[in-house]
Structure 1
Amino acid sequence: MDWSRVLAYGMLPALAFVLVIGAGVLKILDSGVRQSDTARAESVQAAKDSAVAMLTYTPDTVEQQLTAARERLTGGFLQHYTELTNNVVIPGAKEKQISAVASVPGAASVSADPAHAVVLLFINQTVTVGTGVPSDTASSVRVTLDKVDDRWLISQFEPL
């Protein structure tokens, strides 16, 4: 048996085939990692921006601000937030001249894929009632987001 022929016509093509398949698998895996990294970055930013929009308002513009924040929400949470703001927050802010300013000093992605993400937020909020002394609160929240029409929307907002 001529080993050079076996090597040239059998082993080398098989090795080339295995290398091509391996390169394809690596390319697919790399694409998945890049999509997850993009989902993480986008969802963290969307969670931060949306939390600030949901929790920041002034008595003069509370209705417009919180109505605009609803565009960042979806599902059952959108319904719950709408009821809470319409029945409690907006009337209370107007009647008692309440203003609130929220910030997000820290955020971390818990999990993310191209269509669903979970983000942990650390939120500071300063609330002023009328001409009273502002009060500060700090909280942490688990935010679940779903990608709908290329936008990350909050579907759950759970205080921890």
Structure 2
Amino acid sequence: MTAVLRTLERADLPFVHRLFNDPEVTRYWFVEPTHSLAAMEDQFGRRLHDTSERRFVIDDAGRRCGIVELVDIDLRHRNCEFQIIVAPDCQGNGYAGAATRDALRYAFAVLNLHKVHLLVDNTNAAAIHVYQKAGFVNEGVLREEYFADGTYQDVTRMAIFQRDYLSTP
């Protein structure tokens, strides 16, 4: 695997559109799989110069394998939220771990953030394992936070500090 993170481009939107219209993918993002490509293109244009977010594609030699996002970047408090989707046909190949590490390196070394946090569905054991391995620790459970698949879902907030990331070999 030689995947890299690269900036999300307009040409990537059909790939992102497919991800966000896959019910298995969107279930863990707690959104309905009803995004239109036209709406995504419009949103892309509006976000083009937004400094409060960074969006990347996981690219393995030209193959799009997923997306990574640092959103709600707050430069005053030096924190942001981390989000990731690995395409279903690319899962189980180490992309999530590598992309998470690359995103953290960017957040802490380039943006000089103090803390990166995320929300994860408590039933998503694979994602929790990836996040723990990357150094994220549990901060707390948000009970019945999202409605998905006909029921309310508990999520765990996890976070990692720059100092902890930098002290990991």
TM-score, normalised with respect to structure 1: 0.26
TM-score, normalised with respect to structure 2: 0.25
Higher relative contact order by CA 8 Å / sep ≥ 6: 1 or 2?
Answer: 1
**When you count helix as a share of all residues, which structure comes out higher?**
1
Larger radius of gyration, structure 1 or 2? 1
